[in-house]
Amino acid sequence: MGSKMDNNWCFVKVNPDSKAKIDKSDLARVSKHTWRVLTKDSGRKKVVTNIIDKQGRNRQISLGQFLMKPPKGKMVYPRRFMEGFDYRKENLVVCTMQERQRILPPSRRFGSSKFKGVSYINSRRRWRAAIKHKGKSVSLGLFKSEEQAAAAYNHAALQYFGKDAYQNQVKVSFVRRVVDTRKKK
């Protein structure tokens, strides 16, 4: 299988006309299989192959699962969602489905905003930012611009979920609003 190497990673061929970035240390093991692109119902694509499991059954496995060997109940997901296939171990995270929700980008199908955690409130003519934490929705406030609301979501996501939290790609930074509640004389 052809590959292009650079420092600690290389490309491996994926049928029909793609390639996946992997760690150089995984090349020999990965090259023993034929990999292909599978397009899921959501439109997202992943790299898969078929293997024979310990019980002798033929089963499909993703390149991430193959590389990371997650324990039962956990899956492998990319940290960054970009075009192309980046299966370097530094870009993969092993987590449960619930933990995964923290790192997912916004749904491509629904919503009034292109940003995760942001929606437009017509009656208020403002953008609302909110985040789900421990099964509850936490309101982060109303904002004049979609980008300000997205920045507020980013700030909260880092506080609640840490460095692995999904971050909206905005140029605006979060500015904490301070309201003066003192009575004016």
Neighbour tally for 123: CB within 10 Å: 5
Q: What angle do CA 121, 126, 132 make, to 5 degrees?
A: 65
Please identify, among 99, 132, 147, the residue that sits at the C-terminal boundary of a domain. Answer: 99
Confidence (pLDDT) at 178: 47
- How many structural domains does the chain have? 2
> Tens of pLDDT along 123-170?
999 999 999 888 889 999 999 999 999 999 999 999 988 887 888 989
Please indicate, yes or no, if residue 149 is contained in any of the structural domains: yes
Q: Is residue 78 part of a domain?
A: yes
Q: What is the pLDDT of residue 96?
A: 85
pTM above 0.75, yes or no: no
Same domain? 118 vs 58: no
Per-run averaged pLDDT (10 residues), the chain, 185 residues: 65 92 96 92 85 92 95 84 80 83 67 90 94 89 95 93 86 67 56
Bridge pairing between strands 5-6 and 18-23 = unpaired
pLDDT value of residue 43: 76
Q: Are residues 10 and 55 in the same domain?
A: yes
My answer on whether 21 and 71 are in the same domain is: yes
Strand pairing class (85-86; 18-23): parallel
Res 179: pLDDT = 46
